[in-house]
Amino acid sequence: MKNSMNSSVQQPMIVKYVEPLHNGIQTQVLSRYAIGYILRGTKNIYDGDKRQTLSRGDVFYLGIGHHYIENCPDGGQPFEQVIFYYTPEDLQRILMHLNITYGLNISNEHSCENCRNRNQIFMPAWNSLRNFFINTNNYLRDEEFRHDETAENIKMTELIYLIASHEDCCLKSKLLNNVDSAKENFEQVVYDHIFKDISIEELAKLTNRSLTSFKKEFRRHFEMPPHKWYIRQRLMHARLLLISTSKSISEIGNECTFPNTSHFIKLFKKEYQMTPATYRHRHFTTMPTEVASPVETVPEAEEIRQAL
């Protein structure tokens, strides 16, 4: 596992993860942006009722906040991925260095529904990007590289260069749109309070904004009012708990910060057109058994059972 260059926050910046066993759906909470590559196995990313499947050779981006993931070993071989973690400050520093030192003119005209409305995207890696991650995987086996901050910093810069100099695409768009410290701070407060009993007025104060400014900026970032967005995030989490744990309906409602069980059932039925009990019954009988595993909340640097 790599150590951060910032001694005050010893977080890894480049990490090789190996997961020999299938551990079901997990809730991954990120405090930084992640750009990763699948070396072996498949990775499922859940977004509401949708399940997107990534396979070997795919590159992915995960934004700050909660993500519902499932890493699946393949053919008796462990699941493997390499992930780079960036703060907006990292991105600003690297892009400025590329512009000043190498004259890289960075622009992006791409915009689509994936870029605007989703907190995660994935796509097949192009040749140079695929070779980069394969080489990085080889470097991570070298003990000297794993403790060489200069080598690590070069790799962090090289990845951004490969993306920023590539033709416009979803990955490049998400990367460049997040070079904004104010945006990161705003979103961090929002994501930190998904499962906390807090009013919109209190959230506005935490972001140092008036209630009106907070609501306006919230809609700009998430494309819906705060109350509606928070309810949807909590229901999404409840949905996964229903299909992957044996917790009672009342326990799940309480864990997802609903004031009482009847209120939880009412909102769930409005969102999914069925009660939580019916939803659980249908998915337990139709979904493959490997999906019906315990949901586990894991911090960003401890996601997998073995990290190199």
pLDDT in tens, the chain (308 residues): 333 333 334 577 999 999 999 988 888 888 899 999 999 999 999 887 688 999 999 999 998 888 999 999 998 899 999 999 998 888 888 888 887 777 777 777 777 777 777 888 999 999 999 999 999 999 998 887 777 888 888 999 999 999 988 888 888 888 877 665 566 678 878 888 888 889 999 999 988 889 998 999 898 878 899 999 999 989 988 988 888 788 999 999 999 999 999 999 999 999 999 999 999 888 764 444 333 334 444 555 444 333 44
Strands in 79-86's sheet, in edge-to-edge order, are 120-124, 58-62, 33-40, 79-86, 14-19, 306-307
- The verdict on pTM exceeding 0.75 is no
Residue 291, pLDDT score: 38
d(CA 289, CA 70): 13
d(CA 161, CA 300): 24
**14-179+293-307 in CATH: which number?**
2.60.120.10
Give domain limits for the chain.
14-179+293-307
- Residues with Cβ within 8 Å of 302's Cβ and at least 6 positions away in sequence, in order, are none
Q: What is the DSSP string of 74-132?
A: BTTBPEEEEEEEE-HHHHHHHHHHHHHHH----------HHHHH-SEEEEEPPHHHHHH
d(CA 163, CA 100): 17
> How do 120-124 and 58-62 pair as beta strands?
antiparallel
Classify 177 as helix, strand or coil.
Answer: helix
DSSP 41: S
